[in-house]
């Protein structure tokens, strides 16, 4: 494996630990309402299938989803229908019943539209698109376009919509679906810059775009995105693990550009923060490895 490939793997590891593990979007402004809930009776059934149950016993979780759906339909609980279809879709995914899962996500879209809940529609479209993309079936791009289009036009809960787009940017990125990940990250960034400029959430979207650009070979673009993310993080969360993640990502870009002096400096800055904030952590071990890769070139 080449040094460049090693650095690419390191960047992925750093992102998974630094972004998914630490970066949190700030709470939505008071004027953005919370999402709707199903009726208590439907919610009680849904609660029988927590996240752990989906992996432990998918067939039982699917039966729970079917029960919740039947009750929600009988009582005309639109949000309950959407949530039940969501549970069914996620369970069907685990059972490798892709076509049925996509159909359940599409049914959730219809219910969420009736409930006037855009973030739920975004999740459903993006989830269905991801399934199609992983199966190498046509239509994923169109479904992601549906999700991003909803995000651009949402006025009631734009930040919740941006959060959903950002999460799926990460999911698509992890699976190597880079053009689609870029689209999702870019729209999340636009919403966040408009609503909560210079926030940690903006930095997270910038960081995601930087990682995509790096994987696509656009090192100049990657450096710009990571530098912008770092500037915000230094202002909003100085000496945090998110700042360390940005230094690490800049170090990876510099190393790939052949600027080993800068790469070493960036990695050392990241290490200094990790020694304070997370000594003996996996992130710190990764950073020592980064420095070793640079020293060996």
Q: Which 3-state string (H, E, C) describes the chain? A: CCHHHHHHHHHHHHHHHHHHCCCCCCCCCCCCCCCCCCCHHHHHHHCCCCHHHHHHCHHHHHHHHHHHHHHHHHCCCHHHHHHHHHHHHHHHHHCCCHHHHHHHHHHHHHHHHHCCCHHHHHHHHHHHHHHHHHCCCCCHHHHHHHHHHHHHHCCCCHHHHHHHHHHHHHHHHHCCCHHHHHHHHHHHHHHHHHHCCCCHHHHHHHHHHHHHHHHCCCHHHHHHHHHHHHHHHHHHCCCCHHHHHHHHHHHHHHHHCCCHHHHHHHHHHHHHHHHHHCCCCHHHHHHHHHHHHHHCC
CA 74, CA 241: separation in Å to the nearest integer? 49
Topology adopted by domain 1-26+197-297: 1.25.40
Closest CA to 216 of 225, 204, 205, 228: 225
CA distances from 24 to 27, 94, 246 (A): 9, 27, 15
What per-residue confidence (pLDDT) applies to 183? Answer: 98
pLDDT given at position 24: 46
Nearest to 287 by CA among 274, 187, 191: 274
**Of the candidates 65, 35, 34, which has an alpha carbon nearest to the alpha carbon of residue 49?**
65
| Residue intervals in the chain for CATH 1.25.40.10 | 1-26+197-297
pLDDT at residue 146 above 90? yes
Residue 186: band (very low, low, confident or very high) from pLDDT cuts 50, 70, 90: very high
* Mean pLDDT value of segment 225-233: 98
Indicate the pLDDT class of residue 285, thresholds 50, 70 and 90: confident
Q: Please, what is the end-to-end C-alpha distance for the chain in angstroms?
A: 13
CA geometry: angle 52, 129, 194, nearest 5 deg: 95
pLDDT mean over 256-261: 94
pLDDT category, 284, cuts 50, 70, 90?
confident
Using one digit for the tens of pLDDT, what is the confidence trace for 77-98?
A: 999 999 999 999 999 999 999 9
Token pair in block for residue 22? 């630490």
Quick: pLDDT tens for 159-184. 999 999 999 999 999 999 999 999 99
Quote the pLDDT of residue 289: 76
Residue 7 — pLDDT band, cuts 50, 70, 90?
very low
Higher per-residue pLDDT: 50 or 15:
50
* pLDDT average, residue stretch 269-277: 91
Q: Is the pLDDT of residue 73 over 80?
A: yes
């Amino acid at each position: 494996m080449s040094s460049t490939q090693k650095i690419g793997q390191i960047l992925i590891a750093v992102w998974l630990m630094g972004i998914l593990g630490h970066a949190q979007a700030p709470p939505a402004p008071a004027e953005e309402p919370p999402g709707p809930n199903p009726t208590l009776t439907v919610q009680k059934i849904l609660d029988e299938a927590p996240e752990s149950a989906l992996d432990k016993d998918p067939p039982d979780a699917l039966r729970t989803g079917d029960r919740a759906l039947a009750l929600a339909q009988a009582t005309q609980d639109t949000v309950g229908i959407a949530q039940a279809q969501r549970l069914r879709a996620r369970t069907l995914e685990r059972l490798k019943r892709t076509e049925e899962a996509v159909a359940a996500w599409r049914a959730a879209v219809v219910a969420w539209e009736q409930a006037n809940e855009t973030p739920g529609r975004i999740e459903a479209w993006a989830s269905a698109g991801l399934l199609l993309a992983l199966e190498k079936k046509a239509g994923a791009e169109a479904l992601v376009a549906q999700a991003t289009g909803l995000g651009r036009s949402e006025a009631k809960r734009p930040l919740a919509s941006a959060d959903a787009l950002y999460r799926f940017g990460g999911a698509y990125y992890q699976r190597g679906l880079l053009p689609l990940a870029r689209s999702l990250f870019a729209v999340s960034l636009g919403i966040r810059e408009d609503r909560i400029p210079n926030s940690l959430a903006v930095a997270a979207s910038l960081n995601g775009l930087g990682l995509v650009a790096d994987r696509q070979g656009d090192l100049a673009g990657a450096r710009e995105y990571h530098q912008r993310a770092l500037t915000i993080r230094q202002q909003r969360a100085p000496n945090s693990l998110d700042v360390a993640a940005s230094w690490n990502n800049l170090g990876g870009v510099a190393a790939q550009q052949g600027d080993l002096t800068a790469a070493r400096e960036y990695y050392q800055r990241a290490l200094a923060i990790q020694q304070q904030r997370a000594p003996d952590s996996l992130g710190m071990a990764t950073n020592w490895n980064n420095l070793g890769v640079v020293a060996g070139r």
